Amino acid sequence: MLAVFVLGFSLLAVVFSSPVKSAHAHRNNTLVSNTTLAAPHWVIYSDRSISGLTGPPPVSEVEGFNVFALSFLLVNGAFDKAEEWTQLTSAQRATIKAQYAAAGIKLIVSVFGSTDAPTSNGADPIATADSMAAWVIQYGLDGVDVDYEDFDAINAGDGKAEAWLVSFTRQLRVKLPQGQYLLTHAPVAPWFSPGKFGGGAYLTVDSTVGGLIDWYNLQFYNQGSNEYTTCTGLLTNSSSTWPKSALFQIAASGVPLDKLVIGKPATTSDASDGFMSTSTLASCLNTAKISGWNAGAMVWEFPDANSSWISSVRALSFPV
């Protein structure tokens, strides 16, 4: 399978890669999830097709992470790494799942991504949640990451995007109960900027259904060449373009600090901007930890990030 991972370059550029293959038929799986995970969270996404590899990599390649996100499940079905998971036999999935569980790594699916615009395209939030939750259960995963990137809907400012996300999140929790399944969201950091979006963007989502969301994998990249590129800009003082969207500023708006996972690209080729070296990111994480933060870090994507990458990033704050 060929995965496309060219990133968008609009002002609020979309973040993740573009699937190119049709979803395949689904087959039953009887694995049962029982999931809870305390901070810190170390999250890695995987969307890219890798020669000789179907599904997740060997555990040894992602040691130091505790969440691996297969990307993506769309409204129209599974693509890329999510699709590869369905191509494995039930026995193969069970073996991989057991290996990851033994290493303390949860396997989840990321939904939507840059190519899906469910609100703009008129997808029903309840039916979509039901379908996606059924897929998670069928294929024995530990939960869902909601990578909602319907920028047109958010930018419309009419509250419809926020209402869609609220309904979708509530219904996911009906089908994937808290404590049994992970439910995370992966918003771009500017969506927490107060007063920038008519519907309130993720400040509205968090104030309405934040209690149902385990944490946020914040995308601190693809938002402008000078955005979130220093520890100050990332942690305490964002630019005037996206005011009050640095880590501790988001927390000051009422979002729990221990739910704010810092997301970065693994290399300069994994995003249009926002890249930090592992040494700089490690320093930022240590600074944040000293100030009381412990949520963890997220990276886009494997194999550019791996066990070596996360070991370097965690070295000063939460050493592996």
Condensed to tens digits (0 to 9), the pLDDT of residues 37-88 reads 999 999 999 999 999 999 999 999 999 999 999 999 999 999 999 999 999 9
Query: 253 with 150, same domain?
Result: no
Q: Which domain holds residue 116?
A: 61-186+200-216
In a domain, 303, yes or no: yes
Which residues sit opposite 78 in a β-bridge?
73
> Token pair of 310, please?
């996360």
pLDDT value of position 165: 99
Query: 254 with 212, same domain?
Result: no
pLDDT value of position 30: 35
Mean pLDDT over all residues of the chain?
Answer: 91
Q: Rounded to whole angstroms, how far apart are CA atoms 108 and 139?
A: 10
In a domain, 49, yes or no: no
Query: 165 with 125, same domain?
Result: yes
* Phi and psi, residue 81, nearest 5°: -65, -30
Q: Rounded to whole angstroms, how far apart are CA atoms 108 and 65?
A: 13
For residue 2, is pLDDT > 50? no
Query: 80 with 181, same domain?
Result: yes
Query: 254 with 308, same domain?
Result: yes
Q: Rounded to whole angstroms, how far apart are CA atoms 314 and 144?
A: 24
In a domain, 151, yes or no: yes
Residue 243, preceding peptide bond in cis (omega within 30° of 0): no
Query: 152 with 168, same domain?
Result: yes
Query: 125 with 245, same domain?
Result: no
pLDDT value of position 13: 38
Of 2, 11, 43, residue with least CA distance to 272: 11
Query: 168 with 266, same domain?
Result: no
Query: 127 with 68, same domain?
Result: yes
Q: Rounded to whole angstroms, how far apart are CA atoms 24 and 250?
A: 40
Query: 281 with 168, same domain?
Result: no
Q: Rounded to whole angstroms, how far apart are CA atoms 66 and 68?
A: 7
In a domain, 34, yes or no: no
Query: The CATH number of the domain where 170 resides is what?
Result: 3.20.20.80
Query: 205 with 114, same domain?
Result: yes
Contacts of 286 (CB under 8 A, 6+ apart): 316, 317
Query: 288 with 310, same domain?
Result: yes
pTM score of the predicted model: 0.90
pLDDT value of position 128: 99
Domain tally, the chain:
2
Question: How confident is residue 35, by pLDDT bands cut at 50, 70 and 90?
Answer: low
